[in-house]
Amino acid sequence: MKYVYPAVFTKEKKGYSINFPDLPGCYTCGDDLGYGIKMAEDVLAFTLYDLEKTSADIPEPSDISALTAGKNEFATLVACDTVGYQRMNNGRAVKKTLTIPQWMDELATERGVNFSKVLQDALEEKLDIS
């Protein structure tokens, strides 16, 4: 799932603190603006992935023009992809048992087919996440 939420960046003595007004508890920081943006994308993906995983309500993002930035602050949009985040952070393999016709197993084995790779490719296509 892809999301875009407004974030408020506050300039600190060293770097930036970043919070997402629509997502309580969703905040981070960075030593410089580039790292702050990277950290903002990461915490946004983590927070939203956790909400998806627990089937919690995901709040609608506010209109960025409705946000007011204070002194030493600016608001910007931050995007994330929770499917991509999950891929990067949860690469743990799980075992699945499947059933195919014997003749297909014999032919595929004979031709050196990697069953796990074929299944992963097919699932990516089926789930439209390739």
Please classify residue 94 by burial: count the beta carbons closer than 10 Å to its beta carbon, then call 0-12 exposed, 13-18 middle and 19+ buried: exposed
> 83 and 124 share a domain?
no
Structure confidence at residue 19 (pLDDT)? 96
Q: Identify which has the larger pLDDT, 76 or 129.
A: 76
> 67 and 53 share a domain?
yes
Structure confidence at residue 120 (pLDDT)? 87
> 128 and 78 share a domain?
no
Res. 130: pLDDT tops 80: no
> 66 and 112 share a domain?
no
Which residues, 6 or more positions from 129, have their beta carbon under 8 angstroms from its beta carbon? 83
Q: What is the pLDDT of residues 100-116, one digit of tens each?
A: 999 998 999 999 999 88
SS3 82: helix
SS3 36: helix
What one-character DSSP code corresponds to residue 65?
Answer: G
> 72 and 101 share a domain?
no
Structure confidence at residue 21 (pLDDT)? 96
> 66 and 110 share a domain?
no
How much is the pTM?
Answer: 0.70
Q: What is the pLDDT of residues 49-64, one digit of tens each?
A: 999 999 999 999 999 9
Instruction: Count how many domains the chain has.
Output: 2
> 85 and 102 share a domain?
no
Strands 2-11 and 27-30: unpaired
Residue 31 banded pLDDT, cuts 50, 70, 90 = very high
Structure confidence at residue 95 (pLDDT)? 78
Tell me the average pLDDT across 65-90: 89
Lowest mean pLDDT among 45-54, 62-71, 83-92, 116-125: 83-92
> 48 and 77 share a domain?
yes
Residues in the chain: 130
> 82 and 98 share a domain?
no
Res. 5: pLDDT tops 80: yes
Residue 47 sits in which domain range? 2-89
Tokens read off for 10: 């506050």
Helices (H) and strands (E) in the chain, counts: 4, 4
